[in-house]
Amino acid sequence: MNRRRFIRSLGVALSGLALPQGAWAQQPRSIAGAIPPGHALQASWQAWKTLCLRPDGRVIDGFQNEDSHSEGQSYGLTLAAAFDDEAAFESIRIWTEENLAIRDDALLAWRWRHDQRPHVPDDNNASDGDLFYAWALSAMAARHDRPELAQRARMIAQDLVSVCSVPHPNGSGSLLFLPAQQGFAADTGFTINPSYYMPRAMRELAAATGVSQLQRLADDGVALMTDLAESGLVPDWVTITADGWVPPPERFSFNAGYEAMRVPLFAVWSGNPEQPSARRYAAAAQTNPPDETTTVFERGSGASLERSPHRGYQAVVGLVSCAVSGSVGAAIPAFATDQPYYPATLHLMALVAQAEIYPQCVPI
């Protein structure tokens, strides 16, 4: 039997295990222990740690001067929870608590600079880092009966909605998720990063902590993505005004680039491949050449503006395209260590989402 025929037969066998599209969004589940010991992806997790994780628990970002930030620490903590790696989880958590949990509230400072003193010159937070950090804490608290982690997750969730959620300026009562406590509000509206919304993380954290506003943020965020996708790809940044959305200030990208590619990834990881943002991305990515992946699209036309050979970006395209189409077999490459932190992390996230939710999208 040739490989493609085997993949097709495997997809038929697995189809009875998969829920209909959209059904996963209503299923309670946890990232903790999603990838069991002995699973083939454990080798990829070990490779990611070798590439990105220092022995002291610091996640390094090669794209940003080998500094660290709450996003990287929180993505690392989430992946450690996904692989139920208690040793890595604890090292990342402890380093983060000692170096970034320096604010007066429960949130994390957004960046740690290895070549500066003090290492944290700015204690503003990054709401996506706080969200993923609390999500991972909550997952491991439930799995290992650690109430202190659950309490920490609850405190973060409470402060996150307190300082980073605001009413939509149109008076509709819907909520917006600010990228940080400071710097994104103006008299004309709020500047939003759509990729900071992770619907599944918000919903599961709301259920675990009782902070119901996170569920509202998830629902309102999905509605915002749908609105943005009506006229093109979801952009990196957008400004929300009382009259609707408009391009952000000039210092922010209105293309669909390195940030926005997380929107379709998080949509399918949340079990929602029918989301228009994912469908738009999958359609645009069909123009990718064999050895490169478009990393920056012009939002309206979908024209390719920038490309990269890093396999992590190809993994996102492969997973999203397969999840959207409902096909069997995905063009997800094997995990590679010849790429920096960001594509490597998206790569492993895509592999985790495939293994957990989309058995038919087995890499080919």
Give one DSSP letter per residue of 128-194, joined into a string.
Answer: HHHHHHHHHHHHHHHHHT-HHHHHHHHHHHHHHHHHHEEE-TTSSS-EEE-SSSSSSEETTEEEE-G
Q: Quote the pLDDT of residue 73.
A: 98
Asked if residue 123 lies in contact with residue 71, where contact means CB atoms within 8 angstroms, the answer is no
Would you list the domain boundaries of the chain?
A: 11-361
Closest CA to 304 of 292, 316, 312: 292
Residue 259: pLDDT over 70: yes
Closest CA to 222 of 243, 245, 203: 203
Residue 66: pLDDT over 70: yes
Share of the chain above pLDDT 70, in %: 91
Q: Quote the pLDDT of residue 62.
A: 78
pLDDT band at 31 (very low <50, low <70, confident <90, very high): low
Q: How does strand 244-246 pair with strand 293-297? A: unpaired
The CATH fold assigned to 11-361 is Glycosyltransferase (1.50.10)
Q: Quote the pLDDT of residue 63.
A: 77
SS3 content of the chain, % helix, strand, coil (to 5): 50, 10, 40
User: What integer best gives the mean pLDDT of the chain?
Assistant: 91
Q: How does strand 165-167 pair with strand 293-297? A: unpaired
Claim: this prediction has a pTM higher than 0.75: yes
Asked if residue 316 lies in contact with residue 324, where contact means CB atoms within 8 angstroms, the answer is no
> What SS3 class is residue 237?
coil
